[in-house]
Amino acid sequence: MLSYWQNKSHFIDHEYDLVILGAGVCGLSLAYWAQKYGGKIAILEKGIVGAGASGKNAGFLTGGNLNYFASLLEHYGEDKAIELWRFTTENVALVKHELDLDTNNKVSEYHESGTISLFRTTDNLMRIRHAFELLKKNKFDVEELSAPFDFEKAYKIKTDASYNPVEVLNLLKAKLVNTVIYEHTHCLGLKQQGDFVELQTNKGPIFAKKVIMALNAFTGELLPEIKAKITPVRAQMCYLKTKADALSMANYSIPSERIYMRRYGDGILIGGMRYLDEQNENTAHEELNPKIQNALIERCEKYFGSCQLLHKWCGIMGFTQDEQPIVGRSKYNANVFYIGGYSGHGNGYAFKLSKNLIDEYFAK
C-alpha cells in the first residue's frame, strides 16, 4: 500500500510520446524497438515486470512444433504456412542476435537445444512426414532422430532454443535507455483529450501522444473491440525432479498427449494438457487445476519413473481463433494500438512482431 506522498510522486513525468501498457516480453520488446526512434517512453504495468504469461512460461524459444506446422499447412496452404514459419524462425534469430544470446555467454540458462516432436503410430504419420519434408525442401534446419521410449518417430527443429524467461526479460529491460517502467500501475481506462490520450490509473492520470496495448489476454478489458478476438486461456506447469538424463537437453512435444516438456537442470519442466479440462482452463483466473496438475505428474512418471514435485504454477495466455497473433490500430482512436494473442507462442513471435509494429507506425 502506498501513502499519499508516495502516490503523489509516483510518476516522474506526466506526459510521454509513447505509453506502452503491459511489461511482458511484448511490452518490453516494443520499448526496445521504439527507443531507436527517440521520444519519451513509459511502460505501465499493473504488477511487476513479467507478472503475466511472460514470467510464467516454459521458456521454449520456438514458433511451434512440427505438428503445429502441419496444422498451419492445413489451415493456410503451403505458401502462407511457410511464410509464417519463416517469420518465427527469423524471430528466434533476431532475439538471439539482439540480446547476444549464446550457449556460452552470460545467460547461463540459454540452450540452443532445439524442439523435438515425438509421434506414435496412432498419429497421422504421413501428414507429419509431409510437413517435415516441406520444411527440409525450404531449407529450414530440421532433422529426423531415432525415437526414444515407445515412440515411432522423432523430428527435431534445430534452430529452436530454451531459456529462463525471467532472465531474458531482465536482459531486455537492461537494454531500455529512455524508457521509464512504472510497476504496480494499473491502467483503468483511457480517453482522448486534445492532442493526448489520458490514461486513468490507480496512481492518477498520465498522458501520452500514442498508446500501445501489450496486454495479451487482458486487452479486451480496456479495448472492447478486441474482447471477442483475444480470449484468456490458462496453462498449467510443473517442475519435477526425475531421471532427466533419459532425455537429451531439448524441448519436447508429444502431440498425441497434447503435452510439452523440457529437460531443465536436474529435472523436467512439464506443462500443457489443457484439453483434459478445457472448460475450466478457458479463464483469466490464475488458479492451479489439480486435475491437470495430477495428470502432468502421472504422464511424467510413465516415462521416467517416480518424480519429486519441486514447483507448480499456472499462467494466463491470450488466444485468437486461428491461433495467430493480431496487431492493429483501434477503430475508435487513431492514437491507440494493440498487439497480442500469441496463443501460446509469444516467445516465438513477440520480438519481431513488435519491431514490425514500431517500424510501420512509429518510424519518423
Q: What single DSSP character describes residue 111?
A: B
**Coil vs helix vs strand at 198:** strand
Which of 50, 31, 26 has the alpha carbon at shortest distance from 42? 31
- Three cell numbers, residue 305: 519413473
**Segment 183 to 222, residues that bind ligand FAD, using CB under 6 A:** 186-187, 214-216, 218, 222
Residue 345 interacting with ligand FAD (CB under 6 A): yes
Alpha helix (H) residue ranges in 273-345: 278-281, 290-304
The angle formed by the CA atoms of residues 115, 121 and 124, to the nearest 5 degrees, is: 75
Q: Which backbone phi and psi does 127 adopt, to 5 degrees? A: -60, -45
Closest separation in Å from C-beta 40 to ligand FAD: 18
**Segment 132 to 191, residues that bind ligand FAD, using CB under 6 A:** 186-187
Between 77 and 204, name the residue whose CB sits nearer to ligand FAD: 204
Query: How many of the chain's residues bind ligand FAD (CB under 6 A)?
Result: 40
Residue 85 interacting with ligand FAD (CB under 6 A): no
Residue 24 interacting with ligand FAD (CB under 6 A): yes
Of 125-133, 238-246, 294-302, 336-344, the window that binds ligand FAD (rule: CB under 6 A) is 336-344
Contact yes or no for 262/60 (Cβ under 8 A): yes
Residue 59 interacting with ligand FAD (CB under 6 A): yes
Between 44 and 131, name the residue whose CB sits nearer to ligand FAD: 44
Between 46 and 96, name the residue whose CB sits nearer to ligand FAD: 46
Which of 165, 146, 148, 145 has the alpha carbon at shortest distance from 157? 145
Closest separation in Å from C-beta 126 to ligand FAD: 28
Closest separation in Å from C-beta 190 to ligand FAD: 10
Residue 69 interacting with ligand FAD (CB under 6 A): no
Distance set, CA 147 to CA 34, 104, 144, 151 (Å) = 44, 28, 9, 6
Contact yes or no for 64/81 (Cβ under 8 A): no
**Coil vs helix vs strand at 236:** strand
Closest separation in Å from C-beta 82 to ligand FAD: 20
Of 15-23, 128-136, 299-307, 327-335, the window that binds ligand FAD (rule: CB under 6 A) is 15-23
Residue 71's contacts (CB-CB under 8 Å, 6 or more residues apart) are: none
> Binding residue for ligand FAD (CB under 6 A) from 27, 114, 220, 232?
27
Closest separation in Å from C-beta 234 to ligand FAD: 7
* Alpha-carbon span 193 to 211, nearest angstrom: 13
* Alpha-carbon span 321 to 73, nearest angstrom: 16
**Coil vs helix vs strand at 100:** coil
Of 80-88, 97-105, 329-337, 346-354, the window that binds ligand FAD (rule: CB under 6 A) is 346-354
Residue 64 interacting with ligand FAD (CB under 6 A): no
Between 81 and 350, name the residue whose CB sits nearer to ligand FAD: 350
Residue 114 interacting with ligand FAD (CB under 6 A): no
* Cα dihedral 328→331→332→336 (10° resolution): 10
Between 15 and 286, name the residue whose CB sits nearer to ligand FAD: 286
* Alpha-carbon span 96 to 358, nearest angstrom: 19
Binding site for ligand FAD (CB under 6 A): 21-27, 44-47, 51-54, 56-60, 186-187, 214-216, 218, 222, 235, 237, 271, 315, 317, 340, 342, 344-348, 350
